[in-house]
Structure 1
Amino acid sequence: MSKKTEDVLPTNIGEFELIRQFFCSDFPSSPDTVIAIGDDASVVKPPANSELVQSIDTQVADVHFPATAPANLIAQRALRCAVSDLAAMGACPQGFHLALTLPQSDAYWLKDFSDGLKKAAHELNIALMGGDTTRGKQLVISVAVQGWIPLNHDSNSQALTRSGAQPGDIICLSGKVGAAAVALPQVLNNPADTSGYARQYYFPEVHLSLGQSLLGQATSCMDISDGLIQDAGHIAKASDVQLQLNADAILLADPDSPALCMTGGDDYQLLFTLPDTVESAELIRQHASASDGVHKIGKVVSGSGVNLSGDRELLADLNKAGGFNHF
C-alpha cells in the first residue's frame, strides 16, 4: 500500500488505537446485535423461530496464503473462506469476530487489511462484532462467523449437513473446480497478481443465496475446501452411502489438469445431494443460468466411499493426488 503524504500513519500503533482506528467503523450493521465492539463480549438478540449457526476458520501466513500478499487480499480471502461455511449450512450471515496475531502493528498494513475486510463484509452483509489482537512471531487470522437459519413449520432444524444423503439422490455441484489449485504457482510467484485464476484464489465466490435456497430441499451439503474428491468422501462417510461421480460431468477450471482440479482445495463451491424429483430438477434449472452454474455430477447409491467413472489414467492420477491435509 502506498504511503500518501496526506494520509501519514504511524509505523507502529497500540492495540486500543489499532482497534479504534481500523475496526470500529464502516462495517455493515446488524439489527440483531445489541452490543458489539467496545465491551468484554458482544450481545446478540436472536430473531424468533431461528437457530444459530457458528463456525470458525483460522488462516496462517505461508500455510494458507503468502505472507507477502497485499493485506487487502489476505483480508478478502480470510472472510470469504469463513463465511462459505455459513453458505454450506444454508445460513444467512449475522456477524463475525476477528482475532489477529501480528508480528508488528504496522498501521499501513492494518489500514490496507481493514479496507479489504470492510469491502468483503459489505458484499457479504456481515457485521464485525468484536475480536482480539495480540503480538506473535507469525501472522495468524481467525474469523468466527455466525448466522441464522429459520426453523421449519414444525419448529425443527432444517440446517444443511453432511449426513443426510440417501441412495437414489442425485449429486450436484456449483460452478467449476480447480481454479485455486491451478492459480497457486502464480500466487506464490507473485502474491500481488490477481489476474486470471488468481482472482478466484483471493476472491472465492460465497454461495449464500444457493445455500439458503437448498433449505428443505437438499439432503446433504458442504463447501469444497480440501478438494472435490476428498470432500465428497466426507459426505459419503457421514451419510453411510457411496457417491458415484461422473468425471465427464464435472466442470474443470483447467480441462488439461483434471486430477489437480478434482483434488485441489480452496474452491468453496457447494457440493450437495437432492432427491431425484421434478422439484429438484426445477431448482437446478433456476441456478444453472450461467455456463458454470449448478449441474448434476452423479448419483448416490448404497455402499461406501467415492466411485469416480473415467479413464484409467485419470483414476491413477487421482489415486496419487489425494486431497489437502492440514497435517
Structure 2
Amino acid sequence: MTSKQTRPAIAATGLRKSFGDQVVLDGLDLNVQRGTVFSLLGANGAGKTTTVKILSTLISADAGDVQVAGHDLAREPDAVRAAIGVTGQFSAVDNLLTGEENLLLMADLHHLARGERRRRAAQLLEQFDLVDAGKKPASTYSGGMRRRLDLAMTLLGSPQVIFLDEPTTGLDPRSRRNMWQIVRELVAGGVTIFLTTQYLDEADELADRIAVLDHGRLVAEGTADELKRRIPGGHVRLRFADPQGLDTAMSALGHASRDNDALALRVPSDGSLRSLKTLIDRLDDRAIEVEELSVHTPDLDDVFLALTGNSTNEKVTTR
C-alpha cells in the first residue's frame, strides 16, 4: 500500500468541466509528487485557472476523481482546504491594514492561539524580508512586496500544497527572481507547489515537471529538457581552427551543414548526453580537433508553439 510519504500530493483522473456549451477541461489527468514544483503551462483560456479552482475546492468538477494531500476532493473538502494554500493572480492583501495586521487577521482566521499568532507573524515578516514594512499600510507596498505578503499570509496555515496561480504577473524582473527564490526555499522545506504561469522562462526555471494544457487537454508532460528534446531543431555547433579541420570533420560526419565563413558545422542533435557522447567519440576516433563546441536545443517557446500552434505574442509571455 502506498505510504503517506510516497503518495502523490495531487492525483486527478478524468477531470472534466464545462460552462454551458464551452468545454474547459476535457478529461484531465494529473500526478504531482510531494516536495516538487509542478507547472501547468498554457495560453489564456486553456483551463489553467479553472484547474486550480477545482483542485482548491473553489468550484466543483463535472466529472473525475481527485486526491489532494491524501484527501478525496469530493468527500473530504474541508480536509483538503486545511492542507492547502492558494495565492491567486490578484493579491488578497487588505490595503487599509499594515503588513503585520494582514498577517494577524489571517492568523485569526486559522484560529491560532494569541501568542502563536504574533510569533508566526513576526517569523513570516522576517522570512519574506518585510520587517521594516510590517508597520506600514499595505497600500504603500510595491507589487513585489504585496506578492510576498500575499504568499506569507498563505503560509500561516502551514499548507502541504500551495497553488500559485500566475504569481509573478506584473512584477519587475528583480521581484520575479525574488519570488522564484522563495518558491525554491518552500520546496526545499517539503512544500509542494502547483504553479500556473504564462511565462515560459518561469516554468523552465522552477518546475520539476511541466504539463502543457491546450483547449482543456494535456498535450505533453515531462521535465523541461524532456519537452525540449521532443521538438526538432536541436543541434551541436562545432567550430574549427582552419579550413582543413572543417573539411575533415565534414567528411567524417556527413549529415552536418557547414558555414565556411565561420569555419563551423551544425550537426543535428536532440541535445541528449547519449547523442553528444556519440558525436564526440566519432571526432576522437578520427583525431579531429575542435576549437569550440556548443549545444543548442529548442526552448520552451518552441515547445509551446509546436504543441499548441498558438502565437506566443498573443498567448504567452516569453520575457
TM-score (norm: length of structure 1): 0.22
Of Structure 1 and Structure 2, the greater helix share is in 2
